[in-house]
Amino acid sequence: MMNHTPSIPSVVLGTVQFGMSYGINNATGQPSAEEVYAILDDARKLGIQTLDTAGAYGSAQELIGNYHRMNNQTFQVNSKFKGTDASSLRKELEQCLHTLHINAVKTYFFHSFSDYITTPSLLYHLTQLREQKLIGSIGISVYSNEELRQAIAEPEIDTIQLPFNLLDNVSKRGTLLKEAKEKGKKIQVRSIFLQGLFFKDPHTLPPVLFPLKSYLETLHYIAKVHTIGMETMCLQYVCAQQEIDELIIGVDTSQQLHRNLEAIQENCPASLLPLIDKVDVHENNLLYPYNWK
Ligand SMILES: NC(=O)c1ccc[n+]([C@@H]2O[C@H](COP(=O)([O-])OP(=O)(O)OC[C@H]3O[C@@H](n4cnc5c(N)ncnc54)[C@H](OP(=O)(O)O)[C@@H]3O)[C@@H](O)[C@H]2O)c1
């Protein structure tokens, strides 16, 4: 069997799980502050340099800031702002830097694509903050292909963050990742585990997700015949996409972090990738967890 050995994208540690109870498969709730600090310690030891956070992630920014205050070394941090008017953007960033206990945000993201559309002056203010080196680069978080297309066309946007996974896959995104790369964008992907959905027994889905059952069964079947663990398949599918620069991994425990970083290093049977590409979810709206309520 031929093995596919991908060039490994760098890993960014997601932090929404630190600041609030998160995920469809989450039985343990929000980790304690001590558990969060232990995960951050492990992340540092394992070579992770960057965190992904946001003002909207409950206590996540405070926990990261406390961790920085207690330790000599700091992480590079990407953060996101939401629904602000352009005149208060700088103030909000300064507050964010203070909370995180850092001098500059690595990439500052529009958390909502709609803010980019409704308040065009935000982008101008972000370019000023970038010039003043209070932020390293400008990012935008998108969901749909239409948002992705518009982000690709915006010259001032440096980084695009989007969901990409076994179901929100090549058959959904088509050539858009390639187009983004051609325009010089950095591509960062999230929702690699679709909030833990891939680890759920397809027979125990909540009613709203019943339409995804057959697709999940197909994925479990593909994993079984290739004798590959689900976390390995989730991660290796993303690593196999040459255009992806960074993957964001969200974990609730140190054990998951260790397991996921091991899974990234494993080989993946090349024959598995086209089978996943062919899984074509028709219910596009269910690919986005905000529609699961
Ligand atoms: N920009 C945005 O709009 C946006 C939106 C969402 C998230 N994010 C960022 O992306 C990060 C990741 O969130 P996501 O939605 O993309 O989550 P995800 O990576 O799709 O799923 C993370 C969840 O998968 C489960 N998991 C991870 N490793 C596992 C393993 N080895 N075995 C079993 N279960 C495992 C954990 O949930 P359980 O243990 O609870 O099952 C974990 O909370 C967040 O922390 C956040 O920083 C950004």
Task: Give the pLDDT confidence of 157-181 residue by residue, as tens digits.
Answer: 999 999 999 999 999 999 999 999 9
Here the tokens at position 189 are 């992907």
Quote the distance between the C-alpha of residue 245 and its chain's center: 12
Q: What is the pTM of this model?
A: 0.93
Residues 6+ apart with CB under 8 A from 290: none
Nearest to 137 by CA among 161, 167, 114, 117: 161
Provide the pLDDT for residue 4.
47
195 close to ligand 1 (CB < 6 Angstrom): yes
Interval between CA 170 and ligand 1 midpoint (Å): 20
Distance in angstroms (rounded) separating the CA atoms of residues 102 and 99:
8
Interval between CA 193 and ligand 1 midpoint (Å): 6
Interval between CA 168 and ligand 1 midpoint (Å): 15
Here the tokens at position 149 are 């297309």
Residue located nearest, by CA, to atom 12 of ligand 1: 250
Residue located nearest, by CA, to atom 38 of ligand 1: 26
Atom of ligand 1 nearest to the CA of 163: 16
Quote the distance between the C-alpha of residue 71 and its chain's center: 25
Q: Are 60 and 16 in contact (CB under 8 A)?
A: yes
Distance in angstroms (rounded) separating the CA atoms of residues 235 and 192:
7
82 close to ligand 1 (CB < 6 Angstrom): no
What CATH code is assigned to 7-282?
A: 3.20.20.100
pLDDT digits (tens, 9 = 90+) for 233-287: 999 999 999 999 999 999 999 999 999 999 999 888 899 999 999 999 999 999 9
- pLDDT over 80 (residue 16): yes
Residues 6+ apart with CB under 8 A from 288: 143, 163
Here the tokens at position 182 are 């051609």
159 close to ligand 1 (CB < 6 Angstrom): no
